[in-house]
Amino acid sequence: MKKTMKDTSEKRASYTKQEVKDQAYNILEVWKANREFRMQDAKFEDFDKVYAEFDELLKKIEARSRELKELKTDREKLAAKLSLLNTRARSGMCGYFGPQSPEFAHVKVRLSKNKAIRAAQKAATAESELPPTPTAPETTNPQP
């Protein structure tokens, strides 16, 4: 059967996964207590089977999410180590090959054009709490 735009059987619900699971659990509890309840196209066993599959899938996703989080943590640690080694290697190559060498130019960090570059700031003048120094008294030069 061809699916149409009005077919809602596979449309994404506006509920969270946990809300769907909780609601299905509550329905199963009521249905277990009232086995005379019937639906035209689904049996209790069908509903229970789909719920179990959904619950198992959520558990797999949670387990893989934990694995992924651990992998990302390991990645961040290694990226920090590698970044430090990169900096040291670039500095060493600058000293060994020279700052104008093609070898150093090949490994030099290139700033992307999207990054904002801070403008050079004026040097701050230190303010003193002392009173200003007095100016020398003016002397008149006698002319002969």
Place of tokens 């060994």: 96
Residue 38 has pLDDT above 80, yes or no: yes
Q: What is the spatial distance between Cα 69 and Cα 134, in angstroms, rounded to a whole number?
A: 68
Residue 110 has pLDDT above 90, yes or no: no
Mean pLDDT of 71-87: 94
Confidence of residue 16 (pLDDT cuts 50, 70, 90): confident
Mean pLDDT of 85-102: 91
**CA distances from residue 141 to 29, 134, 138 in whole angstroms, order as listed:** 111, 21, 10
3-class state of residue 99 by DSSP: coil
